[in-house]
Structure 1
Amino acid sequence: MNRIIAVLLIALCSSFNVSAADKKELADYAYYGFEPEIVTNYISNRKKLGYVRISVELMVKKPEQLVSLERHDPLLRAAIVEILGNQTEDKVKSLTGKEEIRRECFEKLNLLLEQETGEPLVVNLLFTKYLYD
């Protein structure tokens, strides 16, 4: 019985083993952060303006792609500001709305990068800070 358990544990552990090629691929990912943080207004239900302040990190597969992101930073930042500025207060303040905004930003940035560089560079877009009022 103990042998069967030992063999199953070894088989299970070996199935989770990451090959050297997979480790290299994982190690090549890089992140580009917008500095300074992005602050803009959104459509508020109240009489005063609502604002959102976010930190955005873009994940790319290769560190050399960071140069392209830096080159197109103003274009990408403007797209994020435009998307955030067109959101309603309810969407900005809900978790599902936040995810929809993140996905919209991801798709728009990749579309712009494809137009500018010939390929969508962003693998993932992360909001590392998301504050609103």
Structure 2
Amino acid sequence: MKRIISLFFCFLLVGPAFAQGAADEAANQTLYYALAPALVGNYSSGERLKYYKADVALRIASKDAEDRVKHHEPLIRNQLVMLFSQQTDETLSSLEAKEQLRQEALRQVREVLVQEEGKPLVEDLLFNNLIIQ
């Protein structure tokens, strides 16, 4: 009987430790927030207009940050559309150029969030799909 009672008290003490570990894991979980629908627009290339379609995802560290990013999504989308519409064939032609565009897009998204929230909130920006036509 003493063993059963001892086991019972051990489980009572260990239970909150497991719960705390699970809560810490959930707090440090990486989330991806996709800007939907995809960003679609045009940019100038000499005499012709060209089109782009960009599926963008943002890597975010917490659920609270995701809620804040959702709240500011219209401003983020506007900033990205303005950035994409300023591009040329040279800035979209190679992998290095696309990586520079991705870095600039991340910088601008973070800048918007710092202005609105005081923190960048977004860890990374990813192109799930980038089509140039």
The interval holding the TM-score normalised by the smaller chain is 0.7 to 0.9
Q: TM-score, normalised by structure 1?
A: 0.77
Q: How far is 1:93 from its partner?
A: 2.2
Provide the C-alpha distance between the structure 1 equivalents of 2:127 and 2:27, rounded to a whole number of angstroms: 21
**Alignment match, 1:81:** 81
Render the CA deviation track for 1:15-40: whole Å, top value 9, x for unaligned.
Answer: xxxxx89x937961111111100001
Aligned to 1:71: 71
Q: Structure 2 stretches of 5 or more lacking a match?
A: 1-20
Q: Deviations over 1:83-133 (max 9, x none)?
A: 111111121122111111100010011011011011011101000001001
Backbone CA RMSD of aligned residues: 2.0
- 2:38·2:55 contact (CA, 8 Å) conserved in 1? yes
- Structure 1's consecutive aligned runs of 4 or more residues displaced over 3 angstroms after TM superposition are none
**Relative to structure 1, is the Cα distance of residues 90 and 34 closer, same or farther in structure 2, using a 3 angstrom cutoff?**
same
Query: Hey, what's the Cα distance between the residues in 1 that align with 2:107 and 2:26?
Result: 23
Q: 1:93 touches 1:132 (CA, 8 Å); kept in 2?
A: no
Query: Could you tell me which amino acid in structure 2 is paired with residue 125 of structure 1?
Result: L
> What TM-score do you get using the length of structure 2 for normalisation?
0.77
Larger of the two Rg values belongs to structure: 2
Describe how 1:1-133 pairs up with structure 2 within 5 A: 24=25, 28-45=29-46, 47-133=47-133
Deviation at 1:78, TM superposition (A): 0.5
Kindly state the Cα deviation for residue 76 of structure 1 after the two structures are TM-superposed: 0.2
**Higher strand proportion, which one?**
2
